[in-house]
Structure 1
Amino acid sequence: MKAIDLFAGAGGFSTGARMAGVQVVWAANHWQSAVEVHAANHPEAAHVCQDLHQADWQRVPVHDLLLASPCCQGHSKARGKANGNPQHDNSRSTAWAVVSAAEYHRPAFAVIENVPEFVQWSLYPAWRMAMEALGYCLSPHIVDAADHGVPQHRQRLFIVAARAKHPLLLNLPRREHVPASSFIDLNAGNWSPIDKPGRAKATLERIANGRRQHGDTFLAPYFGSGSGLTGRGIHRPIGTITTRDRWAIIHGDRMRMLAANECRAAMGFPDDYQLPAQHRLAVHMLGNAVCPPVARDVIEAMRWAA
Structure 2
Amino acid sequence: MAGVAISLFSGAGGLDLGVERAGYEVRAALERNPDACDTMEKNFDHLASPVIRKDILETSTEEILDAAGLKKGKHPELLVGGPPCTPFSKSGFWLDYKRAGLDPDASLLQAYTRVLAEAKPRYFILENVYALTYNNKASRPAFERLLREITAAGYTFDRQVLHAADYGVPQARPRLFILGAREGEPTPSLPDPKRGGRWERRATGRADTPHVTAGEALAGLVTDPEPEEIVGGKYGHLLPEVPPGGNYLHFTAERNHPDPQFAWRSKYWSFLLKLDPEKPSPTIQAQPGPYIGPFHWENRRLRVAELKRLFTFPDNFELVGRRSSIQAQLGNSVPPLLAEAVTRALPA
TM score, norm. by length of structure 2: 0.75
- Higher mean displacement: 230-239 or 30-39: 230-239
Aligned equivalent of 2:225: 189
The AA in structure 2 aligned to 1:55 is T
Identical aligned pairs, as a percentage? 25
Q: Which one has the bigger strand percentage? A: 1
From 122, 130, 146, the equivalent of 2:149 is 130
Contact 2:8 2:30 in 1 (8 A): yes
How much has 1:207 moved relative to structure 2?
4.9
How much has 1:31 moved relative to structure 2?
1.5
How much has 1:272 moved relative to structure 2?
0.6
Q: Residues 186-265 of structure 1 correspond to what in structure 2 (within 5 A)?
A: 188-190=224-226, 199-200=234-235, 204=238, 207-208=240-241, 210-211=242-243, 214=244, 225-226=268-269, 228=271, 231-245=274-288, 246-251=293-298, 255-265=299-309
2-structure distance, mates of 1:144, 1:113: 12
Aligned equivalent of 2:27: 25
2-structure distance, mates of 1:280, 1:33: 11
Aligned equivalent of 1:49: 53
Aligned residues: 291
The AA in structure 2 aligned to 1:262 is E
How much has 1:83 moved relative to structure 2?
7.9
CA 1:190–1:88 in structure 2 vs 1: closer, same or farther (change >3 Å)? same
2-structure distance, mates of 1:258, 1:220: 16
CA 1:72–1:257 in structure 2 vs 1: closer, same or farther (change >3 Å)? same
Aligned equivalent of 1:97: 111
Aligned equivalent of 2:191: 171
Aligned equivalent of 1:269: 313
Unaligned runs of 5+ residues in structure 1 are none
- Higher mean displacement: 79-88 or 12-21: 79-88
Q: Residues 34-183 of structure 1 correspond to what in structure 2 (within 5 A)?
A: 34-45=36-47, 46=49, 47-59=51-63, 60=65, 61=70, 62-82=75-95, 85=98, 87-120=101-134, 121=139, 122-164=141-183, 167-175=187-195, 176-181=210-215, 182-183=217-218
1-structure distance, mates of 2:24, 2:153: 24
How much has 1:290 moved relative to structure 2?
0.8
TM score, norm. by length of structure 1: 0.85
Unaligned runs of 5+ residues in structure 2 are 196-209, 250-265
CA 1:151–1:171 in structure 2 vs 1: closer, same or farther (change >3 Å)? closer
Contact 1:244 1:287 in 2 (8 A): yes
How much has 1:58 moved relative to structure 2?
1.4
- RMSD of aligned residue pairs (Cα, Å): 2.9
Cα deviation, 1:214-250, whole Å, max 9, x if unaligned, reads 4xxx675899644647744211110011113532224
